Structure 1
Amino acid sequence: MTQHVWGYLPEYEKERADILDAVDTVFRSGQLVLGNSVRSFEREFADHHGVGHCVGVDNGTNAIVLGLRALGIGPGDEVITVSNTAAPTVVAINAVGATPVFVDIHSDTYLMDVDQVAAAVTPRTRCLLPVHLYGQCVDMAPLKELAERHGLLVLEDCAQAHGARHHGRIAGSMGNAAAFSFYPTKVLGAYGDGGATVTDDPDVDARLRRLRFYGMEDRYYVVETPGYNSRLDEVQAEILRRKLPRLDGYVARRREIAQRYAEAFKGTDLVTPVTASGNEHVYYVYVVRHPRRDQIIEALKAHGIALNISYPWPVHTQSGFGYLGYGKDALPVTTRVADEIFSLPMYPSLSDAEQERVIDAVTDVMGRL
């Protein structure tokens, strides 16, 4: 029973009529690429985040790639981020020819330790890429202050933080630009791949629109700067339009589930999520921590429960990024928590009975350690 299986089908059954109507609306519109559904979703998503512009793209990875390129980041530049993230964050930096530079994380929230960023800045640093991980935001005020002091740009990775807020500001509204993923398991998920990059800068918006369309200004005419074929699909855009008004409801249900977990495991040695000061957590995943993680996960299989780990292998330890020269001990907090963290089932369609089953199983297993 994984999150992919438990989360997708119940939601689809509940929202099936609206999803199928969305598909039919697009197919009957006569506009299958960059039509009214994409334009409308872009406007509504931008409004939801209080920013001027949204550009829908084909996936969350390319939302970062195009965001970096639209900000002028490329070969020879350094981008400071974290290793405790999904690999696509760093793959995107590599894709534009820039060099990722890692800083360590906080041991309680697993978010970027902003106090370490200043020491990582070099003359080649051009961009800071905070990852709003697991459903809550990085401490943005000191990060933005540092960026302004050094003349750096800020691109927020919001793939896991739809609707999260930091001192009242919604994730995606605090940097020069922000990238979102709409992968099906996200807080706001499509029924396939999808992504978006948002910004308040009209020049960045214009570059984003060219970059997602081969580098062309409008239609198949002249390429100004070589770009990509990275358009958000009309069907996915229309589905996302239908789901966007339900986002607050999705988040509210996630918070209910998180509260039940926190109460159930209070007083145990299972470390439950910590919400950083000023944050409003949306619990994209419910990450817990225990030094005997692997034993717990293995034992839960006997209860028919398979759990995910986000993420078992920090990016700096992966062979594909060995060229960066980071040793395993370069980021001690990141490396240590990667051996202990795992995720309990978390998605709005998780029923109270299903959650109780998870709680009972975890409690039973931990009692036998």
Structure 2
Amino acid sequence: MEFVDLKTQYRALKSQIDERIQRVLDHGQYIMGPEVAELEAKLIAFTGAKHCITVASGTEALLISLMAMGLKPGDEVITTPFTFAATTEMIVLLGGKPVFADIEADTCNIDATLIEEKITKRTRAIMPVSLYGQCADMDEINAIAARYHLVVIEDAAQSFGATYRGNKSCNLSTLGCTSFFPSKPLGCYGDGGAIFTSDDALAQACREIRVHGQSARYTHVRVGVGGRMDTLQCAVVLAKLERFEWEIKQRRRLSERYRELLNALTGVQLLAVRKDRDSAWAQYTVLVERRTSIRAALQAQYIPTAVHYPKPLHQQPAYAGLFRDCKLAASEQAAERVLGLPMSADLSYSQQDRVVSALRGALP
């Protein structure tokens, strides 16, 4: 059993993926080939955003978005400590200061009610993370941002395909950033990502930044990076888009079945999904006590697990110096208890039954 079953997915899409890759090999336009524009157009149609700019990774999407909005050294960005390092990493690399608001204990997403108290005269942006595939309370976050004239960047690396109050993740705020890392709901076969916005000026800035700040060949109008998504990776995502809607529906069926099976287990807490949104279920994460022993018991039965994330960012060595005496209780407690179970569209019911049976036997 795989934690994320990319092999079965490839077998299901082999002819489409192979054909798409061969087409790139035949035309030989490996950088900014026609598949780049084709993918961007299809992602615009999917999300409803006005602009899509494909980039080299989800991390690059965050970096380029922060550069496009003009983040300067000393500027503050309010975000969550319970996320992958890239969220904070890009702020720090640009000389900005991450400011952490704690999470909701039942969703593990940033608690919107704690954001406003973190705002200072140096605050420039809010960066919520749509963790595990579910969006944070974006309307409330956008309302706060509007009151203080702030930019909102949704880190949607895990939530492409999710909806919030009828709108798609990545089209919920000033900028939306997603990742096509292989294990994401929509993944390529390497690194890739995309930025979404309906702001014309920000879109133009993002396009220029991803090609070394060029407005035309060898005309550098701003500082940029080499942030393009490879044509081959765009080709893979185009092939996977053909059954993506089915995959999202299947992930939701499997998550509902997990919920029904796990509800009966004492010692397993399920994460909440708010009634006004759904999840892309990038991971299926539960909360348990004695996680180390449970993981070992599952591993003994060849059932893979993962922990996203074992240590919040304010406790990470690279960033701890920025957050002396920082206490974020909900994030710290979640880091000790979260446990990811196998999840992908091709997970079978029999495999799911094995996971639940093994977890039942491993519980204290």
Do the aligned partners of 1:317 and 1:326 also contact (CA within 8 Å) in 2? no
Give the structure 1 partner of residue 359 of structure 2: 362
- Residues 325 and 273 of structure 1, relative CA distance in 2, 3 Å threshold: closer
Quick check: 1:223 aligned with 2:220?
A: yes
User: What is the Cα deviation at residue 295 of structure 1?
Assistant: 1.8
In the comparison of the two structures, how many residue pairs are matched?
Answer: 363
Deviation string, structure 1 residues 315-345 (Cα, Å, up to 9, x no partner): 1100000221243x61011001110111110
Matches within 5 A, 1:258-277: 258-269=255-266, 270-277=268-275
Matches within 5 A, 1:68-107: 68-107=66-105
Give the structure 1 partner of residue 3 of structure 2: 3
Give the structure 1 partner of residue 347 of structure 2: 350
Do the aligned partners of 1:213 and 1:231 also contact (CA within 8 Å) in 2? yes
Matches within 5 A, 1:264-343: 264-269=261-266, 270-327=268-325, 330-343=327-340
Do the aligned partners of 2:304 and 2:341 also contact (CA within 8 Å) in 1? no
SS at match of 1:334: helix
Supply the distance in 2 between the matched residues of 1:2 and 1:102 (Cα, whole angstroms).
34
User: What is the Cα deviation at residue 108 of structure 1?
Assistant: 0.4
User: What is the Cα deviation at residue 183 of structure 1?
Assistant: 0.1
Give the structure 2 partner of residue 117 of structure 1: 115
Deviation string, structure 1 residues 248-306 (Cα, Å, up to 9, x no partner): 11111111111121111113221122102301122110110112222211221221123
Give the structure 1 partner of residue 165 of structure 2: 167
Matches within 5 A, 1:126-165: 126-165=124-163
The equivalent position to 2:245 in structure 1, one of 244, 248, 260, is 248
User: What is the Cα deviation at residue 350 of structure 1?
Assistant: 1.2
SS at match of 2:143: helix
Do the aligned partners of 2:13 and 2:239 also contact (CA within 8 Å) in 1? no
Do the aligned partners of 2:304 and 2:342 also contact (CA within 8 Å) in 1? no
Quick check: 1:197 aligned with 2:200?
A: no
Identity over the aligned pairs, expressed in percent? 33
Quick check: 1:213 aligned with 2:211?
A: yes
Supply the distance in 1 between the matched residues of 2:226 and 2:158 (Cα, whole angstroms).
24
Supply the distance in 2 between the matched residues of 1:223 and 1:75 (Cα, whole angstroms).
22
Task: Give the superposed CA RMSD.
Answer: 1.2
User: What is the Cα deviation at residue 30 of structure 1?
Assistant: 3.5
Supply the distance in 2 between the matched residues of 1:231 and 1:282 (Cα, whole angstroms).
25
User: What is the Cα deviation at residue 99 of structure 1?
Assistant: 0.8
Do the aligned partners of 2:259 and 2:270 also contact (CA within 8 Å) in 1? yes
Deviation string, structure 1 residues 42-96 (Cα, Å, up to 9, x no partner): 1111121111111111000000000111111121210000010011111111122
Do the aligned partners of 1:158 and 1:171 also contact (CA within 8 Å) in 2? yes
Deviation string, structure 1 residues 222-242 (Cα, Å, up to 9, x no partner): 211121111010011111122
User: Scaled by the length of structure 1, what TM-score is found?
Assistant: 0.96
Supply the distance in 2 between the matched residues of 1:176 and 1:71 (Cα, whole angstroms).
10
What is the letter of the counterpart of residue 231 of structure 2?
E
What is the letter of the counterpart of residue 139 of structure 2?
A
The range that moved more, 263-272 or 305-314, is 263-272
Do the aligned partners of 1:166 and 1:279 also contact (CA within 8 Å) in 2? yes
User: What is the Cα deviation at residue 3 of structure 1?
Assistant: 1.7
Do the aligned partners of 2:102 and 2:330 also contact (CA within 8 Å) in 1? yes
User: What is the Cα deviation at residue 2 of structure 1?
Assistant: 4.6
User: What is the Cα deviation at residue 110 of structure 1?
Assistant: 0.6
Do the aligned partners of 2:313 and 2:320 also contact (CA within 8 Å) in 1? no
Supply the distance in 2 between the matched residues of 1:133 and 1:342 (Cα, whole angstroms).
14
The equivalent position to 1:38 in structure 2, one of 32, 36, 39, is 36
Do the aligned partners of 1:2 and 1:307 also contact (CA within 8 Å) in 2? no
What is the letter of the counterpart of residue 212 of structure 2?
Y
- Residues 222 and 296 of structure 1, relative CA distance in 2, 3 Å threshold: same
SS at match of 2:269: coil
User: Scaled by the length of structure 2, what TM-score is found?
Assistant: 0.97
The range that moved more, 97-106 or 9-18, is 9-18
What is the letter of the counterpart of residue 173 of structure 2?
G
Supply the distance in 2 between the matched residues of 1:363 and 1:180 (Cα, whole angstroms).
35
SS at match of 1:238: helix
Deviation string, structure 1 residues 142-192 (Cα, Å, up to 9, x no partner): 111110101101011110001111111111111111111000000000011
